Amino acid sequence: MATVRIGRTIGVEGESVEFVSLFRSHYPRTVAMLIAYYGFAPEIAEDAAAEAMTRLYLHWGKVKVPSAWVRTVALRVARELGKQQSLGLPDRELVNSGAADDLGRVELALMAGSAVAALPRRQREVMTLTLVDMTPSEIADVLGCSPEQARSNLAHARRTLRNAIQGEEGDGGPDTRRGKRA
């Protein structure tokens, strides 16, 4: 994981504290967004988020909406890094072996993943960003819509997922689905 040291006092008193606060809250979210929403490798996402935060630090005081600026710069940097690197398959396991011990959790995760993938594009985008702990206002900034639209899409996505997962849990197989006969 990339490490960024922040210690220099800059410009007007208090700006450094504001930057540290923004860094602590937005660095992990930016990394998560790049991985979950855009599909970048964790190494690229961490490097891109660190670079975006470094650039923000250098331009602190000039940037009007730092959280949106960081997301935009991080995405641009990640795309550039993605072009430059061909990472292939990761060297580490893709599945946490501890989670595999509990088959019920694994099955639920697979059902949820399949259900999310089956959602309409905008609902899938909103749900994915929600799962990386973004608020509807932050999601609206990323997707270029209003917070109300983000909330509405999230409500529809949750309803669809709830129905899909409840249907799968009650499903005894292809021949015993509700309303289906062998």
Dihedral sign of CA atoms 46, 47, 51, 57 in order: positive
Phi then psi for residue 120, to 5 deg, are -60, 155
Report the distance separating Cα 151 and Cα 147, nearest Å. Answer: 6
More confident residue, 78 or 92: 78
Instruction: Give per-residue pLDDT as tens, 54-68.
Output: 999 998 889 888 988
Question: Which phi-psi region, left, alpha or beta, contains residue 61 (left: φ > 0; alpha: ψ -120 to 50)?
Answer: left
Q: What is the pTM of this model?
A: 0.49
The string of DSSP letters for 119-137 reads S-HHHHHHHHHHHTT--HH
Instruction: Give per-residue pLDDT as tens, 98-130.
Output: 544 555 555 555 566 777 778 898 988 888 888
